[in-house]
Structure 1
Amino acid sequence: GWIVAKRVPGGRTRLRALDWAGPQDRRHQELTLEELRSRVSWIAGQEIAMETPRWLSRFSDYSRLVDSYRSGRVLLAGDAAHVHFPIGGQGLSTGLLDAVNLGWKLALTVRGLAGEGLLDSYDQERRPAAQRVIDNTRAQVALMRPDPALDPLRALFGELLSGGGESSVLSSMISAQDTVLPTRQGDGTTGSRSPWEGGFLPNVALATADGPADVIGLLCGGRPLLLLFGGRAEGYDEQARHWSGVLRVVRAEPTAELPCEALLVRPDGYVAWSPCGGAELTDVLAAYFGAAPSVVRTGQSAELSGG
């Protein structure tokens, strides 16, 4: 097995231990200090003294994923939807991303401003993401097992990590910023995409009419964002005007990081549309936020009696 000890403020030590001997007969019971001391001492090969625990908890390497994140009016998130080996804090991160994905969709649905099937897309987007996390934690658990037959594989991964180029793939996987979501068309289906659509938008600095800004700051209000870059984006604001009650439209100076005319950014930071994709802006807006309301023109009339 292995032991990780870390000093924390207040003169205490945070201790974690993993015993690879097999399933423990007391795994469904609350952890005691004596059991922890016994296991740690056995792994270390010498007696380890312990006293005055602040908290004790037990974790496992099993994985579970629900069949669906939604059943009628019940929606699941975080550990209620997925559990796995707690390596790298990915369970916490995955649960937070569940909440961010669900929050704005639920808010629009409650307010009657959501496109058909928008709330169902929570399961369609987040369940595959959780499966990916479960898969990579299982791979990490396999590499951690104290089996000499795995030494060549561990050595290979060590070389890949030391090379630098491949490490960005793993870091993006653990941070979940490599997640690519399906795009939504006017009929709610998925379709062809631009290189931007479905990806997470980095926090780019922007120069707007109201001064310097960045993507995160512009999304803080929780509304979807239509970014228009310079004079190349003429006409898109007119197409989006029927959704002005939902959408925030911001004009910004063109930037080298975002070489495109416009971007529709979801409240969770993912790009929903760009002009070089296969869909029209109005179709995507309707898919997310419902059909454009009818424009009712009012006039005046009078009936005059003769006299």
Structure 2
Amino acid sequence: MSTLAVIGAGVIGLSWARLAREHEWDVTIYDPRADIADVVAAELGADPRIRVVADIAAAVAEADLVQENGPERLPIKQELFARIIEHARPDAVLATSSSSITATLITEGLSGAGRVLVGHPFNPPDLMPLVEVVPGRDTTEDATERAVELYEGLGRVPVVIGTEMPGFVANRLQGALSREAVYLVQQGVVSPADLDVIMRNSLGLRWATIGPFEGNVLGGGPGGIRHLYAGVGAETSKIEFGTPATDPERMETLIGQVEQAYGTGVEAFERLRATRDSRTRAVLAALED
């Protein structure tokens, strides 16, 4: 029986806990908020395999995998990992769910950096298979291999990233697409809701089954990617992508458009989350078939 320690029980942390429970792991949860026991009970119910503990030491003491999910702030993560390293088992893998901060920055000046790496999930971790495993400068090969084994044990698809880079891979790709999406909406080319319709019915559907390079191979027909790059690719490569405005007034207009399309508050969030989760499960089930 493996044990997961969840440090920070926000949306990502609770999703990690849900995933571990589904795979019959034991879970310990630490979060400094005063109502954490009530939050966990509301999200995960009563389960003897899930324990809320009072401090980091108790959370990580028996963990095979420690998954830190604190705020995306370097000083906070450095403080958390100083305590995690002090109390975790010597053979435990110590991972951060950080979306952009590298393990090398987090462990600067800390001993025990060899066990620390990024285990970046895509939200929500209990549904999205990808985990980007990003070793730091001092992360040992053994820790990286062990992390891959543990994430595979949770039914995830870990990919080891060869070079540390802010945002890693998935978020850099998402950021590039989001940047152009904001630009197109700001230019009045398309509404936020219609842009999402376009994505769901084209690239989103395609990328659920094949990746961009595989798509290029198919797009070129029997001639493959060489034919595509020499033909359509030669023209599309000339497209100049836009730079979205970031001033408060323009961003407020954009945010208002999105809120008008999808709503705000708890009720809207729960409705959107339920739709996303049911559709994601359906896609995953189809891909497994």
Q: Which has the higher contact order (CA 8 A, sep 6+)?
A: 1
TM range (shorter): under 0.3
Structure with higher Rg: it is: 1
TM-score, length basis structure 2:
0.25
More helix by share: 2
